[in-house]
């Protein structure tokens, strides 16, 4: 389950990045933005613990 969750999480992060920071896809993949990154205005106020 851990591996599956990790893979899904990475996939979501990669997709989110490819349309928001296409030039920084590789960076985004490692920084792993929150799952809510698909919101209109991603930022510190959207990060939930």
The pLDDT tens digits along the chain (49 residues) read: 556 665 656 565 555 544 444 455 555 454 555 555 555 554 555 555 5
Q: How many CB atoms lie within 10 A of CB 43?
A: 8
pLDDT at 26: 52
pTM of structure? 0.20
Would you state the structure tokens that stand for residue 44, as one six-digit string?
A: 């510190």
Cα→Cα distances 25→1, 10, 15, 48, Å: 26, 12, 9, 22
Cα→Cα distances 26→10, 32, 36, 45, 48, Å: 11, 10, 19, 23, 23
pLDDT at 19: 47
pLDDT at 31: 53
pLDDT at 24: 52
């Amino acid at each position: 389950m851990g591996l599956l969750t990790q893979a899904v999480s990475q996939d979501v992060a990669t997709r989110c990045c490819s349309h928001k920071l296409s030039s920084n896809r590789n960076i985004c993949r490692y920084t792993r933005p929150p799952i809510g990154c698909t919101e209109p205005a991603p930022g510190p106020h959207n990060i939930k613990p």
